[in-house]
């Protein structure tokens, strides 16, 4: 590869030198010749003027009087009316450059210069051009060698990095080479190394992740169980009151109706609790599967509104108890690609964080961004500490005395589904979950 780069660079330089060098030689040769002709014509015109001024002043025009006016490398012939020609300087051979000037009074001056001097000047110019061309070739060789080394050496290094990754060493090298394309490959390899490192350490983090993933569904389940207990208490209270107050058939019938209503409530709450347990089981199973085989996945197209509404319904009692509200707005009828259970878990984490650390109403807004669907979760609380910023997604980083795992695990779940979780705004806080949009989803704005 180095040889090809050097040969191609030299070929380009030689072609450029050939094209521009030949053109420059032709132009410079013509310029030198025209300059020589212009010089002898100028000398002829000057000498005619000198001779004419002497004749007007009635001075004699002789070889001695004109010698000082003639350059040493010129041959001059002065023709005067009624006098023999006057010649000064050495007569040149054939091919000499000649310039002639004539005055109306009959004075003619012819100036000749040997073309050897022109050829010498042209030769010096050619030597200068050849020297510059040689320097250009040498510089091109050095530059080609440097560029070949700059490109070939990083490619060899990148090949070694890829081989090292394949051998099971996932440490990123963070080397950059000053070439945008090669730096892009290095970025991809480093990102792959970090991803492989995360996959290799997923087994060690499984216990912490699984325990944290169990916490949120268990919290919701405990709230549902509290509702069941409250409904059971209502049944017992209603039954006791009916027994003490009346004994007729009509009151017994009323008590039976209350029992049935309470039993219906208990049944509904129990079903919701079972749904929570099933989702919890799915999430744990998915964590176990991904930790063992990261290539396995269960991404499907699903109704995003259904998942959002499910989370709102599950968290509404807790928000109502805290004197707050959780609402849904934005684009309806969106379909995303992912794992519904994982998406529900990410949203549950965001909603729980808003309940624990936020304030006021919590709003879930769905929208479209290019080929992605977005779920934004925001509240009216104090927001994220400016000193934390995007570090809230790092493990063990927390500003409110929490474990610091929730958002980190939520981001991992989002990335495992091909999406991403970002903090768009710190105050008021706006967290956004980006998911791939289903292929047949129509493209439109908000």
Give the span between the Cα atoms of 183 and 55, in whole angstroms: 84
Q: 69 by DSSP, 3-state: which?
A: helix
β-partners of residue 363 are 327, 378
Domains 2-135 and 297-446 share a fold: no
Interacting residues of 46 by C-beta distance below 8 A, sequence separation 6+: 69
On the 0-12 / 13-18 / 19+ scale of CB atoms within 10 A, 85 is: exposed
Is the bond preceding residue 428 a cis peptide, omega within 30 degrees? yes
- Of 93, 94, 97, 88, the closest CA to residue 39 belongs to 97
What is the reported pLDDT for 444? 47
> Hey, what CATH class is 2-135 in?
alpha beta
Rounded Cα distance between 420 and 414, Å, is: 5
Note the pLDDT of residue 243: 52
* Closest of 372, 375, 366 to residue 330, by C-alpha: 366
Q: What's the gap between Cα 327 and its chain centre?
A: 37
How far is Cα of residue 161 from the mean position of the Cα atoms in its chain? 22
DSSP state of 439: T
- Which pLDDT belongs to residue 15? 86
Would you state the structure tokens that stand for residue 105, as one six-digit string?
Answer: 């009074």
In the three-class reduction of DSSP (H, G, I as helix; E, B as strand; rest coil), residue 59 is classed as coil
d(CA 240, CA 232): 12
**Half-sphere CA count of 54, side-chain side, radius 13 A:** 15
Distance CA 282, CA 276 (A): 10
Pairwise CA distance, residues 120 & 136, whole Å: 24
Could you tell me what percentage of the chain is helix, strand and coil, using 3-state DSSP and rounding each to the nearest 5? 60, 15, 25
d(CA 145, CA 9): 9
Residue with tokens 């007729």: 248
Q: Three-class SS of residue 337?
A: strand
Question: In 205-344, at which residue ranges do the beta strands (DSSP E only) sit?
Answer: 300-303, 326-330, 335-338
Return the DSSP state at 294: T
**Quick one: CA dihedral 350, 352, 358, 360, positive or negative?**
positive
Instruction: Give the model's pLDDT for residue 328.
Output: 94
Nearest 5°: phi and psi at 114?
-65, 135
pLDDT for 309 equals: 92
DSSP H or E run through 432: strand 430-437
pLDDT of residue 403: 54
Q: How far apart are CA 299 and CA 40, in angstroms?
A: 92
Tens-digit pLDDT profile for residues 380-397: 988 887 777 667 888 766
Report the DSSP beta bridge partners of residue 364.
328, 377
For 54-126, strand residue ranges (E) read 75-79, 86-88, 97-102, 108-113
- In this structure, what DSSP letter does residue 386 have? T
How many Cβ atoms sit within 10 Å of the Cβ of residue 254? Answer: 14
What 3-state class would DSSP assign to 330?
strand
Identify the architecture of domain 297-446 in CATH. Answer: 2-Layer Sandwich (3.30)
> What's the confidence (pLDDT) of residue 282?
63
225 phi/psi in degrees, rounded to 5: -65, -35
- Domain spans, the chain: 2-135, 206-295, 297-446
In the predicted model, residues of the chain with pLDDT beneath 50 are 246-255, 291-297, 441, 443-446
pLDDT in tens, 400-421: 556 557 788 888 888 877 889 9
Strands (E), 103-201: 108-113
Return the DSSP state at 381: S
**pLDDT on residue 287:** 56
β-pairing, 362-369 vs 326-330, is parallel
Q: Which residues of 145-173 are buried (b: 16+ CB within 10 A; e: fewer)?
A: eeebeebeebeeebeebeeebeeeebebe
Q: What is the pLDDT of residue 167?
A: 60
């Amino acid at each position: 590869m180095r040889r090809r780069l050097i040969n191609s660079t030299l070929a380009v330089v030689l072609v450029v030198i050939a094209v521009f060098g030949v053109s420059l030689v032709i132009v410079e040769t013509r310029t030198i010749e025209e300059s020589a002709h212009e010089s002898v014509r100028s000398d002829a015109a000057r000498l005619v003027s000198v001779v004419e001024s002497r004749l007007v002043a009635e001075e004699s025009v002789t070889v001695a009087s004109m010698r000082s006016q003639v350059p040493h490398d010129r041959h001059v012939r002065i023709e005067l009316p009624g006098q023999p020609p006057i010649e000064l300087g050495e007569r040149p051979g054939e091919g000499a450059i000649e310039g002639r000037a004539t005055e109306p009074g009959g004075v003619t001056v012819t100036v000749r210069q040997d073309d050897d001097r022109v050829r010498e000047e042209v030769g010096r110019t050619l030597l200068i051009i050849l020297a510059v061309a040689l320097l250009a070739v040498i510089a091109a060789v050095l530059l080609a060698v440097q560029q070949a080394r700059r490109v070939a050496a990083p490619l060899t290094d990148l090949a070694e990095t890829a081989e090292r990754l394949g051998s099971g060493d996932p440490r990123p090298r963070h080397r950059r080479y000053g070439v945008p394309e090669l730096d892009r490959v290095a970025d991809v390899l480093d990102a792959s190394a970090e991803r492989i490192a995360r996959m290799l350490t997923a087994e060690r983090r499984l216990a912490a992740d699984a325990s944290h993933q169990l916490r949120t569904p268990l919290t919701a389940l405990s709230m549902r169980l509290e509702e069941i207990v409250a409904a059971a208490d209502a049944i017992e209270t209603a039954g006791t009151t009916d027994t003490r107050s009346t004994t007729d058939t009509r009151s017994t019938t009323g008590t039976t109706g209350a029992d049935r209503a309470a039993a219906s409530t208990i049944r509904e709450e129990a079903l919701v609790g079972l749904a929570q347990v099933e989702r919890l089981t799915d999430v744990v199973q998915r964590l176990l599967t991904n930790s063992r085989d990261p290539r396995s996945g269960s991404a499907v197209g699903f109704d995003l509104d259904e998942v959002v509404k499910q989370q709102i319904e599950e968290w509404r009692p807790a928000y109502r108890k805290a004197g707050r509200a959780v609402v849904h707005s934005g684009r309806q009828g969106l379909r995303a690609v992912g794992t519904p259970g994982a998406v529900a878990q990410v949203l549950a984490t965001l909603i729980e964080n808003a309940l624990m650390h936020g304030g006021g109403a919590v709003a879930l807004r769905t929208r479209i961004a290019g080929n992605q669907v977005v779920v934004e979760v925001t509240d009216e609380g104090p927001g994220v500490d400016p000193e934390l910023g995007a570090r809230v997604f790092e493990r063990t980083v927390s500003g409110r005395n929490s474990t610091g795992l929730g958002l980190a695990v939520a981001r991992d779940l989002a990335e495992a589904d091909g999406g991403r979780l970002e903090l768009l705004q710190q105050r008021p806080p706006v967290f956004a979950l980006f998911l791939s949009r289903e292929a047949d989803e129509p493209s439109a704005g908000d």
